[in-house]
Structure formats: C-alpha cells, structure tokens
Amino acid sequence: MSTPAPDLAHAFAAAGTLTRARAKNFYHGLRLTPRPKRDAVYTIYAWMRTGDDAVDDAPDPQTALARLEHLHQLTTAALAGAASQSVHAPAPLGGEWWPALTSVVEHYQLPREILDDALLGLAEDAKHTGYESLGDLERYCHRVASTAGRACVRIWGLTDATHTTQADALAGELGVAFQLANILRDIAHDAATGRCYIPRTLLARHNLTHKELLTWHTPTRCSALIADLGSRADRAFAAADALEPLITPDCRATLWAMARIYRSLLHTLLADPRRCVAPTPARIPHAQKLQIATAALARRGLQGVLA
C-alpha cells in the first residue's frame, strides 16, 4: 500500500489506538508486523473487536443480534465504497477506522466470506446455547478465531501464492488453538455470563456436570477434562507450526510471537488445571510477553542472515 491520504491515515491511526488499548496478548505480536501491513491487521482487529463488544456489552440477546445486523449493514456499505457514511455510526459500532476497512479489504483482496463467517460466530455468542460435541465447538472456533488468521495470512502475504489453500487450513488450526486456550482460561468468567463452551459430550465423557467442573468437585475428573481439551489445543498449535515458512519473512516474527504467547498460556493452564476455574483468569506476565517479542525479533534477524 502507498502512503495513505490524510483522512485514511487518521482512520488507520484510530484502528491502531483501539488495538493498543484492547488487544492484550495479540498486541505484542501484531506490533512486530512492518508497516503498512501492521496498519492493515490493526484494522481487522478493530472490526472484530467492535463485533465482540457489540455482543458482550449488550443487555440481552435481542439487542446483541440487532447490533450484529447493524454491523453487517455498515460492513456492506463500507465494502461498497460508502465508508464515509458509516464513520458516523452510533456507539457501540462507531469508529473512525471504518474507511481503513474499505482500503484493507480492497488492497489485500480479502474474501467477504471471512467477515461473514466472523459475524456468524458472533451470532452464536449472542444466542449462546452451548455446544454438543467438540466438532460443534471447533466450528465456532473457526468462525470467531480462524477468520482472523485467514485475514492475516492474506495481509502478511505468502512466499508462494499456490500455498493459499494450505495456509488457510493452517491458519484455521491456529485459530482453533487460540480459541480453545481462551475457553480454558475463561471457564469461570464465561459461567458468570451464563455461557459454557465445554462440549456436553466432553463433560459426559468425564462424568461431570458444568457446575461440578466450576466447583472442582472431583479433582481427578476435572483435571482429566482440562487435559483432554488442552491436548486438542496443543495438537492444533503443533500443526500450525507449518504455517511460518509459508508466509513472507517480514511477518514471521509476528506469527511466532503470537503463537508462543498463547501456547505459553495453554501450558500454564495445563500445568495447574484448577486455574481454569479460578475467579481471576490466568495471564501471561507483561515481562514474559516482552521477552517473547524480543526473541521473535532476534529470530527475524537470524532468518535474515540465513536467507
């Protein structure tokens, strides 16, 4: 992308401000992306975060679904080139970053289905009824997390365009890994909002109810369930390792850092499973995130030497 016009530069700056304020774990990796790609991934994050907040902050499912429909309409208008009309959208869907979304989708040729799939995932949250099987849960993970990965792959770029299908599949696995780590971390928090993402078949396999898991009723069974779901996340992380050599070298540090931060979170939970139901969700210390980001930069320098 060439240097953006002043209004567009303001839109990208607004997306960056939102990302810095809200991204937490993701920010330490995303900020390693070189410009202008960094502005683009911040913009995708801003759009997805706006959707998340529209659902999470809604007082009831009907309001959440109405907000999602409005977001869908604004997105359609923006992608049709009417971004200037949607900049003035009322809260919680307003944002000066809307023109940046139009630019990013056009420049990187992001498929509309990526955004539509993400909206479907958000609608699942709005109408939350839980998940019967691991397959059902993975479908949700693909919608709310893998969509972001697929968008990032197109922004980062591939060393060989013929690898797009493979890269999409690997980004899908990474999205599953990220989302399962989030689900394990937030079991107690989600329960407080009336949500349970642990598949009912998984609870039944370990002879547990959701309430018994929350109260750590039978520690051996509860720990086994966490290990069971955690192993699926760990396998997804391992599979996604094959994505790094497919993307352009300038963005590999970003991918490596984000995966390492979330993998560290998962391993922290698996080392002490009861933390999954603690009132305060487990976090990776800020200093550790900075260490991972520094290591990612060092790896990027080494890759440059070896290339």
Residue found by looking up tokens 């079991």 in the block: 187
Give the C-alpha separation, 176 to 149, whole Å: 10
> What confidence score (pLDDT) does residue 237 get?
97
Tell me the percentage of the chain whose pLDDT exceeds 90. Answer: 79
Instruction: Give the model's confidence band at 85: pLDDT under 50 very low, under 70 low, under 90 confident, else very high.
Output: very low
**Nearest of 272, 288, 183, 180 to residue 234 by alpha carbon:** 180
CATH of segment(s) 128-307: 1.10.600.10
Give the C-alpha separation, 274 to 147, whole Å: 30
The DSSP output letter for 158 is: B
Which ranges constitute the DSSP H helices of the chain? Answer: 6-22, 25-30, 37-56, 61-79, 83-86, 98-108, 112-126, 134-141, 147-156, 164-185, 187-192, 200-205, 210-214, 219-240, 252-271, 286-306
pLDDT tens sequence across 150-164: 999 999 999 999 999
| Cα–Cα distances in angstroms (integers) from residue 294 to residues 24, 28, 30, 287, in the given order | 16, 10, 13, 10
Q: What is the mean pLDDT of residues 226-235?
A: 98
**Residue 172, both tokens:** 């899908």
pTM confidence score:
0.90
Least confident of 55-59, 120-124, 139-143: 55-59
Give the C-alpha separation, 30 to 37, whole Å: 10
Indicate the average pLDDT of the chain: 90
* One-letter identity of residue 194: G
Instruction: Give the model's confidence band at 185: pLDDT under 50 very low, under 70 low, under 90 confident, else very high.
Output: very high
Give the CA-trace dihedral at 157, 159, 164, 167, to 10 degrees.
-80
pLDDT tens sequence across 263-292: 999 999 999 999 999 999 999 998 999 999
The DSSP output letter for 196 is: -
Question: Residue 129, SS3?
Answer: coil
Residue 52 phi/psi, 5-degree rounding, is -55, -50
Q: Above 80 in pLDDT, residue 215?
A: yes
- Residue spans of the domains in the chain: they are 1-109, 128-307
Give the C-alpha separation, 50 to 45, whole Å: 8
Instruction: Give the model's confidence band at 88: pLDDT under 50 very low, under 70 low, under 90 confident, else very high.
Output: very low
Q: How long, in residues, is the chain?
A: 307
Q: What is the mean pLDDT of residues 84-112?
A: 77
